[in-house]
Structure 1
Amino acid sequence: MRRIKFITSAVLLSLSATVFAQSDTDNKSIMNMKMNAGVITRKLKETRKFYTEVLGFGVTFENEFYLLMHTPNKQAELSFLLPNHPTQQPIFQPAFEGKGMYLTIEVDDVDAIYREIKQKNVEIIIDIRDEAWGDRHFTIQDPNGIGVDIVTYSGQG
């Protein structure tokens, strides 16, 4: 599969590795920041299968209650955690309920990825289309109900 990278969502989460400069009055320092979004789900096996077989992700780390995956180019990660696991604090206990989250994956050639995913018989939620603001994209859904928008930006709009 071709190069894939996540694009940031101002409303949700930045899944891409980010480097930014923080300035103060005396000096400038560079701070490296890496972040991965996490989804609490009972569907670890189904999730692993979807992201590896449909999108070409790799497994960075895995145990019986946690799954950390990376994009094919290893520039972004996404994690999954079993709900109500005794090793986790209360904030990490409730399961995601399948609404209110999406992922955007930018690719070099959305049409090629679209054909690859169609050949895998993955259900297309929003068929491939061009938007007035310049995006060409389509959407699939992961086993947790998360919409995965796959897009090529044209730079127009």
Structure 2
Amino acid sequence: MRVNRIIADLVVPDLEAAKSFYTDYLGLDDEEFNLGWVARYTSRETGANVQLLTSDATGPEAPVVSVLTDDVDAAYAEAVERGYEIVHPLTTEAWGVRRFFVRAPGGNVLNVVGHPD
């Protein structure tokens, strides 16, 4: 598995209430997407970004980071082979990504995601 990018996932009670802190104060000026329960804000200048979520639409708990990989199926197979706890099974989600959640040693839940070509 090759990791292409890791994005912090911050849980907030209200996306709209939190938005101005990250856009106005931190200067993350581009809303890449907003699904109502998760939104990503990015600086056009630097590429720095963060994802805000109120909860996860299909997963049983919110992840702390999203790990974008070039081969999510291979990442899933390796996680299973290594005996890591799968918190959310490998799923093709309605919004177009393929992902699973895995619990890392120490308890953090990671959203491992692949985007179709």
Q: Tell me the C-alpha RMSD between the 2 structures.
A: 3.4
Q: Which residue of 1 aligns with 2:70?
A: 108
Question: Is 1:118 paired with 2:91?
Answer: no
* 1:143 equivalenced with 2:105 (yes/no): yes
* Change in 2 beyond 3 A, CA 1:123/1:100: closer
Structure 2: where are the runs of 5+ without partners? 13-21, 23-27, 29-41, 50-60
Q: Could you tell me how far apart the structure 1 residues matched to 2:114 and 2:73 are?
A: 9
Change (3 A) 1:33 1:131: closer
Normalization by structure 1: what TM-score?
0.40
| TM-score, normalised via structure 2 length | 0.51
Give the equivalent residue in structure 1 for 2:6.
6
Q: How far apart, CA to CA, are the structure 1 residues paired with 2:48 and 2:97?
A: 26
Within 5 A, what are the aligned runs for 1:67-82? none
% same residue: 29
Number of corresponding residues: 79
Structure 1: stretches of 5+ with no match in the other structure: 22-31, 36-98
1:80-95 alignment runs, 5 A limit: none
Q: Which has the larger radius of gyration?
A: 1
Deviations 1:115-155 (A, max 9, x none): 11111111111110011001110001123332101001237
Letter in 2 for 1:106: L
CA distance in 2 between partners of 1:100 and 1:111 (Å): 21
Quote how far apart the aligned CAs of 1:7 are: 2.9
For 1:100 and 1:114, the matched residues in 2 are separated by: 18
Structure 1 segments of 4 or more deviating over 6 A? none
